[in-house]
Structure 1
């Protein structure tokens, strides 16, 4: 557990900041030993020894030109705060849980989104970015909650990769994970209120312990997830996107967190000129045997039940356009 102190330092000359902590009120005339001494112009410090639930008093002194000034003693109770938004699980548990909407005043601004994303969707975001918060396998995730802020222009995997928006790894992604595309750092992120959020694609078949670049299984292509008995491991698409719409596949693990139309994930009654036709929802996975990527769901004119359209597994060219739903993952 950690607790971060932040302050302003308007001094233009060299200063030394000492930080004091105690479990009782601190007075400048009876200071304990400092817990930290800073001399490089820092304006924040993280107390990594703070205990959750404990109450501490902090006091700072600033020394410049031989003169020392003390702050007042400030009392803080250390609460566990993981990212913006609520900390209570409304549905599920820490393995897979819905935590609700991020309050408006905690949401980040459109200008904080990666510049590559804003270049692709220049007119999409006109207000703060509305988000729902989740916990999954002990990690914290966010998804866009306002359908008017869903990316509304068809985009392809290749363009997202070249914009650094696919893997969220900070490097070029896994070995053989970008086909013929030039290696591009996958470093899209948002820095907000002292935390960093990786921006990436959802995994459509693999788990977090598996590489998203691997030889695709030919037998899965064109099938619905429910009809493949060997696919038993849950993935992000099934856990977070199935539950975004009003259909419920057999392998869905928990209750829907929204009741949007299934047509956000797939549709079988479209004309050939419709946006997304022939594609699905863009996922992270890349085939290492052929230059193909994974889409889940399908947009076509072949009919099919709504619940089958949102499950579909498709291996497509990296330049095939589809729907794009980013995931934001808290870095801890």
Structure 2
């Protein structure tokens, strides 16, 4: 068992290398800002046992295809790119040729990305990944201690020219695992899920090089009377947004009050009272994160521009509650990411 454990440990090292540098250093098209981007997957297997009679480790004989590695480059041009892989073979006990274990693995991944500008505009990278693995003994028992690993996903490198907020979301199903990780010189974010579920995390990234990857992986083994199959599928999303980014405006009151951009030097949010509000509104109350900031009534409704203070280090939600002259009440809301 000792030698097989070494092989299993190598899988963790391989995942680490995959996350840090990608499966291969293949640059994207010249216009693309996403670098070293690859999609695909790999599978490997191994089989041996400890012979008490000879006090030695014995490798089980190999036949067929017992590993696989397939990758393809992709770009941030919005076009989905997919790549799959598969392998199948047999391990045989050299001291007992009737003792055989069939192994197989397969998988695929797809990735696409909106154009990346270095962090000045929102960017979304989405993907899916599937992986399967099986180790089945041809007899009732086997002396060959066999393990199969299968993993698929995508990875790449971004060069941020300004601070951005990143949100990672992963959803998976099966008896394996899935994760997204993204990191630079000063930190990053990681999200993982097990058999079933959805998880997300956010982090603020500084300018510089950022490596990212998403991955779905499974394993299967056969030893003695034990054997098994496994499969896993996952969906992945990486969202990059500039600091201070604003959400879409919601509410029926946007005809009376409009919220503009956030100034990340001060954290303040701009607002404007429309001409329609001057004619039809009786009162407008504007709040920031639930606290009243401005109340306009009567002649004060003639004021057209407002500056709403908000701490740069915090997210901000601004809301205007408008009471119309006919007694009807409407609201308008907009949210902003933190600036630091």
Task: Give the TM interval when normalised to the shorter protein.
Answer: under 0.3
Provide the TM-score with structure 1 as the length reference. Answer: 0.28
Provide the TM-score with structure 2 as the length reference. Answer: 0.27
Larger Rg: 2
Higher-strand-fraction structure: 2
